[in-house]
Amino acid sequence: QAETILVLVFIVISVLTTHTNLFTVEGEPLHRCAMSLPSGQALRHCPLLPAAALRNFSSTTLKARVRSQHSAAAARYSAAFSSNRQVSVINNTCRPLLKRATQALQSSRGLHRVPQPISAMVSSASQPAAPAGDLSLLGERADHSWMDQLNEDPEAAQHAPNRAMRQVRSGHYVPVKPMPLSKPRLVIHSPAVAADLGISEDEVKTDRFTAFFSGDIDRVDGMRSWATPYALSIMGDPQYHNCPFGNGNGYGDGRAISVGEVVVDGKRLEMQLKGGGQTPFCRRADGRAVLRSSIREFLASEAMYRLGVETTRALSLVVSGEDTVDRPWYSPVTEDDPRLKDIPVERRRAMLRQPRDPDMLVEEPCAITTRVAPSFLRVGHIDLFARRVANGGGDLAREELEKIFNHALFREYPHLWKDDSPLDKKAWAMLDEFGDRLTAVVCGWLRVGFCQGNFNSDNCLVGGRTMDYGPFGWMDDYNPFFAKWTGSGRHFAFMNQPGAALANFHTLAQSLAPILGDGEKGNEAAEEAVQLMAGKIQRAAMDVWRVKLGFPATPSGSVAAARVWEKLEPLMLNAKADYTVFFRQLAAAVELPAEATDEELLAPFAEAFYSPLESSARDELLALLRQWRVALVEEVGGTDNAMKGVAAELRRVNPKYVPREWMLVEAYEAAKAGDESLVHELFALFERPYDEQPEMEAKYFRRAPDSALMAGGTAFMS
């Protein structure tokens, strides 16, 4: 009974504190009031808000909060979200409230399913290859549903070739051809993605392959190309300042151009060139990507797939032998720079940490990554047309909203598209499934130590996949506020990603409100969906630590994991533990005999910390490791087979190799100098991120170099 109560308490507090600034007591987040009390202290002066609190999560509430996201309010929200601590004792007065809140949540209609366990998300990433051939098969298999089912910009013909910035007032796409790279050369490709598209390895070696995927789409008959408009919402708040016209009519695919949809073995795949040149949405930019960013995106997206997290894929990376552009970047100043020789080391490091913006222009070769996915339909696409309905766009706006919604079903939820149910029922069902997919993706990021860095609505796919590998990063030393992008703020930081996901879900739900019901009925349905999603994603996020610590998916396993994580999280932060190395080495600690000495128990973690452990931290870690091992034995049994099973599962969910930024920097700097061998080496490494790969261990299974924790462009980027 005690365990049951604790589980209920844990779940409900997680639900109520998912977005802490929404629930405040005298101006302070309820999360701080309820979750940061010392162990053993009862909750007092903290009126819990069960079902009523969830009902208060309205679009008005969220927008009021988000409008101050770049101010101290956002900082308080993020700090509260990431400083989560479990409550050790809940007084008897609070328990009935918690129980009623749980019952109210479970009795609500729909959207209450918990996604599959995180451990089930990690797949072998193996797929049967499609019949392979030359590029002419792409044209034969082409089926451009976006262009066939949706509306073309009615002003496209008069503005052809549509490569200049302008307003696009209606329509779902603008036909525009990419601008081919000069003297293109293939740097790398993914054989698995080529096979999915039905392209043979012999065809990959041809000039036609390189030319087509460098933007010369006339090389293949039957292919069409287009760019799309969409809207931007940041943490649920609609944005217009990013649009050069201030009204949302100039925002969309600024340098991404889709070059075809094909259906291979019954599976629809869209190909999109990132860096394909200017479009009406380029906002005065050149529409190009560079070799540096293209290498990062290619390796990261393919690694993410192998890590078992849903993602867009990368087919190819082509570089120009002639075209270059200037990009702001960081000068290579390090702490051993001779100009700093007379300055004490600690002061040098402090100086190097201060500049956060690029301080020079670098000439970089242009490149194009071809990314592939079932669709690139973003939350921002639906958001745009919902805004036009709300702004009095009339029948055409309503028609275009319903068309983009139906197309989303066709592309990503075909079973719902085929269903004969009314549109409102389909919209509710889509939100339900989208919530599951989005939760799985974000929890996958937490599991593998990834921070997307800019998780706006325009970087959130309706199909629930990772996309737009821009200011992303994999974490080195554990920090709940980790983010590579200097503009991420705390709202996009590592541990706040579930909150950012919920905000994107809110944007989609509100965008579908006109379909969910007329007037207030639609708004109420959208808000109910958001309330239920809040509980779903918070429960799943907490489950990540159960999985990473090796506990079974049982109520008692969840409680045991929460108790361990409550103590482990601050230890990892304060002692600067390497996120990947520490969690991977738990498997080695599990395999030790029960009578292991202190030295033997600490040995697997000898290289897991960026600073030597002080004696107090060493003692704390030892006690925690022993507590963790005892708890595991209680949950799974202490037999050799049981503990070997735990170790195997730990190695299956905690990767050994991830695309750390210093690895990517070494690869793209060498490639720019003419040596692309490291790009291929890392691609091979990330194809098996959970395998031991002993030949790569000394080189890549290690902490980041100290310089990588400070250098601009590696530790952070703009």
Residue at token pair 């390090």 = 334
Q: Please report which helix (H) or strand (E) contains residue 629, including its range.
A: helix 615-636
The tokens describing 250, both together, are: 């100039």
Residue 54 near residue 534, CB atoms below 8 Å = yes
Alpha helix locations (H) across 17-123? 30-35, 51-55, 59-66, 72-82, 94-107
Residue 644 near residue 460, CB atoms below 8 Å = no
Residue at token pair 């990588």 = 708
Q: Which is nearest to 660 in space by CA: 451, 359, 366?
A: 451
For residue 29, the cross-strand partners are 24
Q: State yes or no: is 458 an active-site residue.
A: yes
Query: How far, in Å, CA of 74 to CA of 72, rounded?
Result: 5
Q: What angle do CA 492, 496, 499 make, to 5 degrees?
A: 95
Active-site annotation holder among 153, 237, 323, 458: 458
Pairing mode, strands 289-290 and 237-239? unpaired
What is the 3-state secondary structure of 339-364?
A: HHCCCCHHHHHHHHHCCCCCCEEEEE
In a 3-state reduction of DSSP, which class is residue 396?
Answer: helix
The tokens describing 542, both together, are: 């907490």
Q: What angle do CA 22, 28, 30 make, to 5 degrees?
A: 55
The tokens describing 550, both together, are: 């090796």
Q: Please report which helix (H) or strand (E) contains residue 443, including its range.
A: helix 423-448
Residue at token pair 């209680």 = 634
The tokens describing 519, both together, are: 């007037």
The tokens describing 198, both together, are: 């039905």
What is each CA distance from 508 to 129, 345, 431, 505, 669, in whole angstroms?
A: 34, 50, 8, 5, 40
Q: Which is nearest to 188 in space by CA: 294, 264, 95, 269?
A: 294
Q: Which is nearest to 239 in space by CA: 398, 389, 376, 384?
A: 384
The tokens describing 360, both together, are: 């020079």
For residue 233, the cross-strand partners are 238
Catalytic sites, residue numbers: 458
